[in-house]
Amino acid sequence: MGILKGKKGLVLGLANDKSIAWGVAQACQREGAELGLNYLGEPLEKRVRPLAEKVGATLVESLDVSDDAQIDAFFAKVQEKWGSLDFLVHSIAFANKDALRNPFSQTTREDFRLALDISAYSFIACAQRAAPLMTAGGSIVTMTYLGAERAVPGYNVMGVAKAALEASTRYLAQDLGQHGIRVNAISAGPIRTLAASAVGDFRKLMEKSARGSMLGRNVSQDEVGNTTAYLLSDMSSGVSGEVHYVDAGFHVGAGDPGLEG
């Protein structure tokens, strides 16, 4: 008996088998959930379809979260196909590469708009369409990072977007709690993925983060997937509005994220 048996849910943000969303999708499938996935436009469909088959996803549709019309169309298909929804996982972020390479003080208005729109506002936009489908209550989870609360070298405008994402998690939790919908964020330590490769000096960040972690190593997609499955399940029925760390690598000394030296 899996902890998600009988539940139907969406995992948004699967790019390839290195994605955090892949760890999440596999854990959810193993725990008995029926899954829906998205891909970002047709060129990426052929990357996502084979993975969707592996986890038996019954709904695989195109969705660019920067476009409200596409979000409406995507959730209309979810309603048509499933009628209701039990969970939503948002594992999506984007920033211009230059904004992560240049000094933070050089961030342009457009860099700021783009990072905040795709990495933070899209969470609100998806949650507001998912909530009416969660007629028996539900659970919503997003992915954040330590750069939301500390100035992590190279994370730059994405840290500002993650701070907005974490605040949005609390406000959505407050708003949707009355409908039995829980909203949480997971803050994982660094994992080598497509999105992570855009972060300046990511290799160094991983080394320092492993040194600053409790476990003395970096975490995996599978470990984030397991924590997500718990937050999506009824095992966490009293948990909402929180950021949950999956060994985020900042435990070396007070005020020291373990990133120095």
Residues that bind ligand NAP (CB under 6 A): 13-15, 19-21, 40, 44, 63-66, 91-94, 118, 143-145, 188, 190-191, 193-196
Min dist CB 39 to ligand NAP, Å, is 7
Query: How would you class 50 by CB atoms within 10 Å of its CB: exposed for 0-12, middle for 13-18, buried for 19 or more?
Result: exposed
Catalytic center residues: 145, 155
Min dist CB 66 to ligand NAP, Å, is 4
Min dist CB 190 to ligand NAP, Å, is 4
Residue closer to ligand NAP (CB basis): 104 or 137: 104
Residue closer to ligand NAP (CB basis): 41 or 180: 41
**Buried b / exposed e along 71-102 (16+ C-beta atoms within 10 A):** beebbeebeeebeebbbbbbbbbbbbeebbeb
Min dist CB 143 to ligand NAP, Å, is 3
C-alpha span between 114 and 93 (Å, rounded): 10
Using DSSP, state whether 37 is helix, strand or coil.
strand
Min dist CB 65 to ligand NAP, Å, is 4
Name the strand (E) or helix (H) holding 40. Answer: none
What's phi and psi for 217, nearest 5 deg?
-155, 165
Output Rg (C-alpha) for the chain, integer angstroms: 17
What's phi and psi for 220, nearest 5 deg?
-115, 165
**Buried b / exposed e along 120-141 (16+ C-beta atoms within 10 A):** bbbbbbbbebbbebbeeebbbb
Residue closer to ligand NAP (CB basis): 50 or 238: 50
Residue closer to ligand NAP (CB basis): 85 or 161: 161
Residue closer to ligand NAP (CB basis): 42 or 80: 42
